[in-house]
Structure 1
Amino acid sequence: MTILTSKILLQLLLIFSTTRFPIIISTNDQSLVKCHDKDKEILLIFKIGILDSSDCPTSTWSTNTDCCIWEGVTCDNATGRVTELDLNDSRLKGQITLSVLELEYISHVNLGLNDFDAIIIPINIHNITHSSKLVYLDLTIIGIDLNKATNWLQAMAKLPSLLELQLNYCNLSNFMTNPPIEHFNLPSLKTLVASQKNFTSSIPDEFFNCIKNVTYLDLN
């Protein structure tokens, strides 16, 4: 080995010994943090009213699995808190409970295009104020006659950050007067889509005062 070759090898060894190489760790886990116990409890309460079948997403929800891996559920990978619930067109039947609005960090809820036969409002409606981050709620064609439901509009009024509300074909023919319109107070709402087959009541001026920040309105 020549002197020149030895010097080159020595220099290379010196470079490698003084250079720090990053260690890259890869994981396929969608969530490194397990779901929050309170969020899991709320989702399981929601599931109670659903008539489970093997082909619906909630059939994968169980007490012994992490709710962050449940179908239709999205969690924040850093905190394990539920941020989205998407059960759109999932063949769900039974009762829909708005206990999901008690999820503290949820931002999107899509329950549209299902076939529920009743809507259940939490006994303690004040707990819904926890959903201060909810910006999107879709209850389109969920099979429920909201004219016969009570307190649902008061529940909506507990969502201060709600930007978009979808209520297409929920049998709201007289929702301007039942429940009273003063409960319809959504200061952040920008989009309201509530197309119905027919409205049997006129639209009072108070309604437009309640949605003065709305930029898109569809009551076709």
Structure 2
Amino acid sequence: MKASPSHLAWSLPLALLATACGPHDVQPASPTAEQPPSVPTPPAPPPPAAPTTRWRCGELLVSAAFAQERVDLGFSGRKLALPVAKSASGARYADDKGNEFWNKGEQAMLTLAGEEKRDCETTEHVSPWEDARARGVVLRAVGQEPGWWVEIGAGDAYPLHAELDYGERKIDIARSHGISSTPGFGAQMEDGTNVILRTKQEACSDAMSGERFETSAELTVGDKTYKGCGAYLDR
């Protein structure tokens, strides 16, 4: 029996539809979302700062920053790093020059090369040298009879501040400058008075406390000269 025209009319569109929608023609959807940009690996955080304790060792105020294999000592404007050393008890740090710091709880013992041993105990007081370094002071010097001290600040201006004659006279100069004749700084007060601070790399001992330094200092204000000891704190 022949198919009727009406049957053929319905069969042809259905066949075409089945062919067009066959599984072999189904295409997967293309991804439209963009891949997130790669994020660089952040740098490793810096190691934590070594814990710092403060000690009074005789006439010295000492800071001690403990690391894994050493202790960094600060005193009299100086820095001294000592490696860990063998010890039967406590934490001992020493070098081959005769410097030693032996810590046992809240007690310690400090030996500086060529000097007597000092017994130490913990303190909350901060050395004026440590305080000056934290404030960015470049050079600090002190002296006795009469008591005086001077500080040279950091920056291009090198501001100078001094207290003389046990604090009775104070000097503030906004700008000083290096001098070529010797290590040091020079400045001039508003009234024209010259202020010159000279230093020399040599052993120096404070006349009152006996504290030892590696730099001597001489401060001249007009026609008066003050002698003492100092330290460069930016080194």
Structure with greater proportional helix content: 1
- TM-score, scaled relative to structure 1: 0.25
Structure with greater proportional strand content: 2
Question: Computing the radius of gyration over CA atoms, which structure comes out larger, 1 or 2?
Answer: 2
